[in-house]
């Protein structure tokens, strides 16, 4: 079949070490890119591995302590594999 594939739901274990989370995500998105599988990152806001965290229990994590409350490491992975 020559049907396009799309992955709209994927994630990383919240209990995994931070470096392992980013490595897994980079590898997964690389696999999607290599195999022409579309994807969207649904963990946008206020979650353990969210891109932005303005409030809630995870807002105190170091990665969100900047003016935009943005996880720049995660953004870099998403941009590099887009």
* pTM, full prediction: 0.85
How far apart, in whole angstroms, are the C-alpha atoms of residue 11 and residue 46?
14
How far apart, in whole angstroms, are the C-alpha atoms of residue 48 and residue 55?
11
Could you read off the pLDDT of 29-77 as tens digits, one per residue?
A: 999 999 999 999 888 887 778 899 999 888 898 999 999 999 999 999 9
Long-range contacts from 25-29, C-beta under 8 angstroms, 24+ separation: 25/74, 25/77, 25/78, 26/77, 26/80, 26/81, 29/77, 29/78, 29/81
């Amino acid at each position: 079949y020559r049907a396009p594939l799309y992955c709209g739901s994927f994630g990383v274990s919240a209990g995994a070490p931070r470096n392992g989370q980013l490595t897994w995500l980079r590898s997964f998105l690389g696999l999607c890119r290599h195999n022409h599988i579309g994807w969207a990152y649904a963990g946008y806001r206020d979650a353990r591995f969210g891109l932005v965290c303005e409030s809630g229990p995870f807002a105190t994590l170091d990665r969100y302590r900047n003016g935009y409350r943005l996880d720049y490491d995660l953004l870099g992975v998403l941009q590099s594999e887009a």
